[in-house]
């Protein structure tokens, strides 16, 4: 059922305020007491006069049902985490979805539906709430899953043609719309937190950047850190044009201007850091991340293995000029850190990554510096792409 009632002026204070707020609950409320993970199914909602019906990609063979998870912590701080799972933007990439029924068959270029292991109860890293080394173990969490092929940033129904069969099919690139609904649920269930960590892994790193401004608009007070995990923005110009056409890529006008969609991916985090000088921004990657390199090759980059590492390092050095940006550059080819035991074991940057994140979250710490592995930027002898 689509929600048509919007908060009237006299209700804004009770609803929490904000443009587009609705008087009706988006999903069941989060219990007020600290506890474990709760799964939510959001209902269709009308925000700013637009009706939004949360959905996954609806690719052929995929379950379109969209859900998200949250938990109430004992502290007043909040983590908003965007999950990853590839991307698709043309006939080739969108014709090879990752499906529950096809696991182990070469996977696919993008996660087209929710998977059993999307449940944060099954994850390690920052989701291991029993590990005393976890700096956010006492925080509240909102876990935003990913199943739309658009790095959480699309608002379009796109039509593609399967290159093998010639059959046409549609993909719901609705990642941006899905999060607008989740953000309204957040507004209804959380008071202003003292501290916010907006973060995500892989495709989710881009989602964290895309939606950072809207999260800060909802919660303008307190301290905030945006951390991108294995999403460095190394893309080609051709890809930018394709993603805009296929996804109707959404970037907030308040930061990026009316033509924000033409912003190069490598510039997004730097522009956010400049716009929010009192907040902190950070990125993590390995020097030869095999997944990011593979997608760079799919975008048509020649000699992607070597080119990705070089461009990543150059772009990262440029962002490091900002006083409120830091990075952790690790050795190897692994992809993502926040959801895995590597969160605790990674120390190739010169200190354990978990400790580095703790310093990033502590405004009083003078130890939060750029970390980089030693002699690790040389591409491997054998490149696959």
The verdict on residue 4 lying in a domain is no
Structural domains counted in the chain? 1
- Name the residue range of residue 120's domain: 9-372
* In a domain? residue 273: yes
Backbone angles phi, psi at 317, to 5 degrees: -60, -40
Q: Are 61 and 45 in contact (CB under 8 A)?
A: no
In a domain, 3, yes or no: no
User: Would you say residue 380 lies in a domain?
Assistant: no
Q: What is the pLDDT along the chain (385 residues), one digit of tens a residue?
A: 223 222 322 222 333 445 567 768 899 999 999 999 999 999 999 999 999 999 999 999 999 999 999 999 999 999 999 999 999 999 999 999 999 997 655 589 999 999 999 999 999 999 999 999 999 999 999 999 999 999 999 999 999 999 999 999 999 999 999 999 999 999 999 999 999 999 999 999 999 999 999 999 999 999 999 999 999 999 999 999 999 999 999 999 999 999 999 999 999 999 999 999 999 999 999 999 999 999 999 999 999 999 999 999 999 999 999 999 999 999 999 999 999 999 999 999 999 999 999 999 998 878 899 999 998 988 666 777 7
pLDDT score recorded for residue 32:
95
Find, among 233, 218, 311, the residue nearest to 269 by Cα.
Answer: 233
pLDDT, position 159: 98
Q: What is the pLDDT of residue 8?
A: 28
DSSP letter string over 57-122? ---TT------EEEE--SSS-EEEEE---B---SHHHHTSEE-GGGTTTT--SEE-S--GGGSGGG
Q: To the nearest 10°, the Cα dihedral for 271, 273, 276, 282?
A: 140
Position 104 scores a pLDDT of: 59
Written as one string, the DSSP assignment of 198-215 is EEEETHHHHHHHHHHHHH
Q: Where are the alpha helices (DSSP H) in the chain?
A: 12-15, 91-94, 175-189, 203-218, 237-247, 253-256, 268-275, 290-298, 304-319, 342-345, 353-360
pLDDT score for 171: 98
Q: Report if residue 304 sits inside a domain.
A: yes
pLDDT of residue 378: 80
Whether residue 385 is contained in a domain is answered as no
Other beta carbons within 10 Å of 39: 14
**For the chain, what is the radius of gyration of the CA atoms?**
20
Give the pLDDT of residue 105: 53
CATH number for the domain that contains residue 105: 3.40.50
Is 166 within the bounds of a domain?
A: yes
Assigned domain for 379 exists: no
């Amino acid at each position: 059922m689509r929600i048509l009632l919007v908060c009237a002026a006299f209700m804004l204070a009770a609803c929490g305020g904000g443009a587009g707020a609705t008087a009706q609950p988006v999903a069941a409320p989060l219990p007020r007491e600290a506890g474990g993970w709760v799964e939510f199914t959001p209902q269709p909602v009308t925000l700013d006069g637009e009706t939004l019906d949360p959905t996954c990609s609806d690719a052929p063979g995929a379950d379109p049902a969209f859900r998200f998870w949250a938990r109430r912590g004992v502290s007043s701080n909040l983590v908003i985490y965007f999950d990853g799972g590839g991307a698709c933007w043309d006939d080739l990439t969108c014709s090879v979805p990752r499906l529950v029924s096809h696991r182990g068959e070469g996977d696919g270029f993008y996660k087209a539906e929710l998977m059993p292991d999307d449940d944060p109860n099954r994850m390690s890293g920052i989701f291991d709430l029993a590990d005393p080394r976890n700096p956010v173990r006492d925080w509240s969490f909102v876990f935003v899953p990913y199943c739309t092929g658009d790095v959480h940033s699309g608002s379009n129904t796109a039509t593609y043609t399967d290159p093998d069969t010639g059959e046409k099919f549609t993909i719901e690139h609705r990642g941006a719309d899905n999060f607008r609904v989740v953000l309204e649920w957040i507004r209804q269930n959380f008071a202003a937190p003292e501290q916010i960590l907006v973060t995500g892994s892989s495709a989710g790193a881009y989602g964290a950047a895309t939606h950072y401004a809207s999260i800060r608009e909802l919660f303008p007070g307190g301290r905030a850190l945006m951390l991108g995990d294995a999403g460095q923005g190394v893309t080609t110009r051709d890809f930018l044009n394709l993603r805009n056409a296929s996804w109707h890529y959404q970037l907030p006008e308040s930061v990026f201007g009316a033509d924000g969609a033409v912003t190069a991916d490598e510039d997004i985090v730097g522009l956010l850091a400049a716009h929010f000088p009192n907040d902190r921004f950070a990125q993590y990657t390995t020097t030869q991340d095999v997944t990011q390199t593979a997608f760079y090759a799919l975008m048509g980059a020649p000699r992607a293995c070597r080119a990705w590492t070089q461009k990543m390092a150059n772009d990262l050095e440029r962002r490091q000029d900002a006083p409120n940006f830091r990075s952790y550059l690790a050795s190897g080819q692994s992809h993502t850190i926040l959801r895995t035991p590597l969160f605790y074991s990674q120390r190739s940057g010169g200190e354990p990554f978990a400790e580095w994140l703790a310093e990033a979250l502590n405004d009083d710490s003078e130890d939060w510096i750029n970390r980089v592995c030693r002699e690790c930027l040389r591409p491997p002898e054998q490149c696959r792409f």
